[in-house]
Amino acid sequence: MRIKKLILLLILTIVLFLLCIVFLHLRAGNKESHIITDVPNLHNGDAKFYDDYILTTLSGNLVIYDQKGNKVKSFSDIRANWIYCQPENHLIVYANTNKQVGVLLLDDNLDILFNKIVMETPNLQIDPTIVKVDETYYMTVTEIDGTVNNADPNAENGTYTLHLYKSDNLTDWELAQDIITAQNNIEDVDLFYDNDRFYVTFEKETVDKGDSSIHVAILDRSLNSSLTTIYQLLDANCDHEPATIVKRRSGYRLYYSCDKNYHGESYAGAQIFYADYDKNWNPIRIDQEVHTQTTKGILLYDVEKTKKGELYLYSQNYSTDCNMIIEEQ
């Protein structure tokens, strides 16, 4: 009888041990991580995955790298500081410090099919996004009237307006709606369309590199502004830098970098996190750390799903070395 009890106790101990391993495995992210691309001291700007390539800006020009870190294309005549792409439609939109917004189409060989400056404005416009719905194109740009990227808490901030435009031909654009106007830095915009609605995520901060919140604006396809709602996804308790939203079976996943664990260090203390929301944007879990080879100093640009797992495109030590990294999990 005593032997049976000892055997039962041993079995229970083993089961509890295995359950603890599984729990710790899940809590730690349960993923093996390794850097597959490291382009040191690149000092690039904005960056996005574009099929099997990386679309980025270098010294104010549009360039393309492969995922091994080799430069494969450089467009010396395309001035770009902020970029966004929709690879499935070969669409790229860019904005620059010359106060221009342009639209670019590439073929499968990365040669230009269409390139046109579609807006030239008195005020700077940043962080463009673009999406195609049926036969209509929709584009957002953020216009700044006054101080750009205010870093002084005692100074008056500029007025940021997030515009939504539409076009049938990529050349002629009509204002469809102003999504938000605020005396905050409205930055790092993402746009996608799902279930007859547009979803626009953005960062909202008062001072550059200070604490910021992340929001989502939901627009009905009719683009009736009275039907637009804006929800706060993450509180302004650290410097958030949203990267992208991924649709999941149960809802949506937001990827971002932030200095939550090293508050006040901004980019230098930032790590990668994600937050999950249900289909009504109610939080399921937030601030889930993604454990990476780079322990801190991450500015996350984009995330791409693969058959093996996920690829994270980010700048390592953005304010100093500014290495362009792809890390696989």
DSSP for 31-92, written as a single string: ---EEEEEETT-----EEEETTEEEEEETTEEEEEETTS-EEEEEEEEE-SEEEEEGGGTEE
CA distances from 100 to 121, 122, 158, 169 (A): 7, 9, 19, 18
SS3 call for 152: coil
Question: For residue 147, what are its two tokens?
Answer: 């101080």
Say if residue 43's pLDDT is above 90. Answer: yes
Q: Which residue has the tokens 């669409």?
A: 91
Q: Which residue has the tokens 């049976």?
A: 4
CB half-sphere exposure, 236, CA atoms < 13 A: 15
Instruction: Read off φ and ψ for residue 260, nearest 5 degrees.
Output: -55, -45
Is the separation of the CB atoms in 101 and 123 below 8 Å?
A: no
What is the C-alpha separation between 88 and 193, in angstroms, rounded? Answer: 14
Say if residue 25's pLDDT is above 50. Answer: no
Say if residue 233's pLDDT is above 70. Answer: yes
What is the C-alpha separation between 199 and 253, in angstroms, rounded? Answer: 13
Question: 10 Å Cβ neighbour count for 235?
Answer: 12
Is the separation of the CB atoms in 281 and 316 below 8 Å?
A: no
Say what the pTM is. Answer: 0.89
Residues facing 246 on adjacent strands:
253
3-17, 79-93, 174-188: range with lowest mean pLDDT:
3-17
Is the separation of the CB atoms in 261 and 220 below 8 Å?
A: no
Contacts of 136 (CB under 8 A, 6+ apart): 166, 167, 168
pLDDT on residue 11? 66
- Which H or E element spans position 244? strand 240-248
Say if residue 19's pLDDT is above 90. Answer: no
Q: Would the CA dihedral through 148, 149, 155, 159 be positive or negative?
A: positive
What is the C-alpha separation between 61 and 79, in angstroms, rounded? Answer: 5
What is the C-alpha separation between 190 and 217, in angstroms, rounded? Answer: 10
What is the mean predicted confidence (pLDDT) over 40-64?
A: 97
Instruction: Label residue 292 by pLDDT band (50, 70, 90).
Output: very high
Say if residue 304's pLDDT is above 80. Answer: yes
Say if residue 328's pLDDT is above 50. Answer: yes
Indicate the burial class of 98 (C-beta count within 10 angstroms; 0-12, 13-18, 19 or more): exposed
Is the separation of the CB atoms in 78 and 64 below 8 Å?
A: no
What is the C-alpha separation between 293 and 71, in angstroms, rounded? Answer: 24
| DSSP count for the chain of H helices, then E strands | 1, 24
Instruction: Label residue 29 by pLDDT band (50, 70, 90).
Output: very low
Question: For residue 324, what are its two tokens?
Answer: 């362009």
What is the C-alpha separation between 257 and 234, in angstroms, rounded? Answer: 12
**Mind listing the pLDDT tens digit for each residue in 126-150?**
999 999 999 999 999 999 999 998 8
